[in-house]
Amino acid sequence: MADVVGIKLIKDEIDVIAVEVKDKEKIGPQIINQTMKNFDFANKVYLANTYKRSFNKRVWSDAELHGVGLIWIKSKACVEDPPLLIGKNKPNPILLDIFLKKNNIIQCSICKVLVRKWDSEILSRKFFTQDSQIQRPICRECNKIFNEQYLKA
């Protein structure tokens, strides 16, 4: 699991950015490999290093070859070094699902917002769709609207 993960919704699609953070003078292929494991669930993957010197040329070309972005954390400033040029990875939907579950992140089945499990009023609510009756998670806001609509009817 990555050290830092950012998740947001872009047009109904879950976009995950994963950052592996190190403080090492030598970045070997095993660290690049470890970083690349995050491609299982992330669209973009970065390796950040807090070491006083930036990445060397070999790490640059390795990272570029595998589509891994590099971030050099220099005191309090971050330098994307070099910028990530490679396009988005398509994560494995099953592994992305496992990652979200492990981190207690649910997606509201109505408005598609991403919330932590404890930020949803009811974790799973039975509601009816045209063709099926299934248990699906919904967020607090939708739950409120749902209840208001239901009570009105």
Binding site for Zn ion (CB under 5 A): 108, 110-111, 139, 142
The two counts, helices (H) then strands (E), for the chain are 4, 9
Tracing tokens 């408005």 back to the chain, one arrives at 111
Shortest Å, Cβ 9 to Zn ion: 11
Comparing CB distances to Zn ion, the nearer of 51 and 127 is: 127
Comparing CB distances to Zn ion, the nearer of 26 and 118 is: 118
Tracing tokens 């990445």 back to the chain, one arrives at 55
Comparing CB distances to Zn ion, the nearer of 31 and 139 is: 139
Shortest Å, Cβ 127 to Zn ion: 12
Is there a contact between 70 and 79 (Cβ–Cβ < 8 Å)?
Answer: no
Which residues, 6 or more positions from 122, have their beta carbon under 8 angstroms from its beta carbon?
138, 143
Q: How long a stretch of residues is the chain?
A: 153
